[in-house]
Chain A
């Protein structure tokens, strides 16, 4: 479907794509166009959207023919895929084996029939060798159980590989060092397999900031790996870590009636919400059960992210994130709402036309005023809301915090990376126990670009 401005010549626009007009609704300035084979619908729509005079271009969806998988529990037990509009998404793509969901969790039962042939060789970062509990297998099924195979449930992404990375013991406790080990393993897997796109799902959380974890997630984002994490189950207004780290997508839990689940942690860092109450999915032993929590919400989004990458493998993590956030179904307000983030994820809309990215990257280098050398371990904060666009005085609101790297292993010493900063104007402050400093002037973060700034600290 193509719509043009009244001043544009629709025939000329259609001619540029070698299309054939099948029908026209003059009152709406729209035409239905047949594309010449083997033109890509997605590519053609993107081309049209960039042309002068085009109001919109979109697929001519056949709404009554959504693919309904034959998995027996899809209709009787599952509500999550339906609520996030996955059946309509499956009409576009149900996934690709060139995408991988890394389940950074408590291990999975790789013999489950709903995972047949799609479990990759993962790792165990813990000392726990007990059989996997239900949690990781349940999470993996939500994101990537095989759909339309006449068995069990339908995951959000039917063909993505599952990379099991065990970082939690059998009771669900996960040390920061094991989580870091798991995140880095997933990133290195992605680096070693450049033909695959990897999404890491972490259905876990805790209240404590840890620099080792922060470095691990920065390493992921810098290597094109999107990380999605549960916002937390304490029902409070500050998302837990790792969801709270800059660049990590924090996913809250929604109910069947599109409310925020009462236990779902929310706040300004929340990205989106997704089904997380009474979710039916796989557990060890080839069976299935209901579980609730933001643990169940995150893999819905991980599955959608893998669908997006199946369709558009060249997108960066922040582009995928923007695609999910800006196509989500808003709740509470017409834009971002701390209770719901950008809203309930909408899989079909996320596979539609690409939206501009919301985010850019920032690297703050902290240097000592005497030696001029980079300073590791300094606390860095990004601020918005300065009262003046010409100075960094009167800062009012911190949006993200980080520490400069001390080790230089994953990030250069003295550098604090911020990998998903909303576009806008910012100032940065830095401090150690003895010195502090501020950027001299505000700097602008543009979508999809890296902005660097230096803060010199002095007593």
Chain B
């Protein structure tokens, strides 16, 4: 995982516009959350780059507390069936962890999915959907927020 602090919110927005994948927004306590993929379609075996951006547009500090070292999760499904979850196969430090966003600060988290399901098998070509989960203490936000926001869908093309 890479974390990049971007002090100027505008800079991060310019950066994300240059990327071509599908996006979905959500908001929690005034903080904007955006889930973004780098492409709308991938060839088989091509890593899926996943980006979660948290932006604090306010002039006050935003603080979230997590019960462990886990600040987010990503879940991939196909036709409503679970395929893969980033946190599977991981443990997390068991101390309470704070995420603090200064005024107009953004944090960017990036992860990669290698097109293998929860049992380690290569997934077939097809249409897939991804959501992000932001387990911030007393609230758990899903991105895109259900049910009103369009899904984040992407395709895997080719043959295995």
Contacts and interface: CB of A to CB of B under 8 A. Distances in A.
A208 B94 contact: no
Contact of B93 (A172, A177, A292): A172
B95 A205 contact: no
B91 A179 contact: yes
Interface in B81-97: 87-97
Contact of B71 (A171, A204, A206, A240): A171
B4 interface: no
Contacts of A230: 94
Given A171-B1, A172-B97, A292-B96, A241 B67 contact: no
Interface in A58-77: none
A206 B91 contact: yes
B35 to A, nearest CB: 18
Contacts of A105: 93
Contact of A291 (B67, B71, B88, B96): B96
Interface in A198-248: 203-206, 208, 210, 230, 232-234, 240-242
A206 B87 CA distance: 8
A204 B89 contact: no
A210 B89 contact: yes
A204 B94 contact: yes
Nearest to A210: B89
B27 interface: no
Interface string A345-387: 0000000000000000000000000000000000000000000
A205 B97 CA distance: 14
B138 to A, nearest CB: 12
B91 A205 contact: yes
B98 to A, nearest CB: 10
Interface residues of B, number: 18
A206 B97 CA distance: 16
B96 A174 contact: no
Interface string B69-82: 11100000000000
Contact of A172 (B88, B89, B92): B92
A437 B124 CA distance: 36
B68 to A, nearest CB: 5
A206 to B, nearest CB: 4
A177 B91 CA distance: 10
Nearest to B71: A171
A170 B70 CA distance: 11
Contacts of A296: 95
Interface string A36-59: 000000000000000000000000
A436 to B, nearest CB: 22
A295 B93 contact: yes
Contacts, number: 89
A175 B89 contact: yes
B139 to A, nearest CB: 16
A270 to B, nearest CB: 14
Contact of B95 (A135, A171, A177, A234): A135
B159 interface: no
Nearest to B69: A172
A167 to B, nearest CB: 9
Contacts of A232: 94
A67 to B, nearest CB: 29
B135 to A, nearest CB: 10
A174 B95 contact: no
Contact of B70 (A173, A175, A263, A294): A173
B70 A172 contact: yes
Given A233-B68, A234-B67, A293-B67, A176 B91 contact: yes
A294 B92 CA distance: 12
A242 B91 CA distance: 8
A173 B95 contact: no
A206 B93 contact: no
A171 B87 CA distance: 13
A429 interface: no
Contacts of B89: 175-177, 208, 210
A240 B96 contact: no
B92 A205 contact: yes
B3 interface: yes
B1 A176 contact: no
Contacts of B68: 172, 205, 233, 293
19 contacts: A170-B3, A171-B3, A171-B71, A172-B70, A174-B92, A176-B90, A176-B91, A203-B95, A204-B94, A206-B90, A206-B91, A230-B94, A233-B68, A233-B94, A233-B95, A234-B67, A293-B68, A294-B94, A295-B94
Interface of B: 1, 3, 67-71, 87-97
**Which 5 pairs between the two chains have the least Cβ-Cβ distance?**
A172-B69, A206-B91, A293-B95, A172-B93, A295-B95
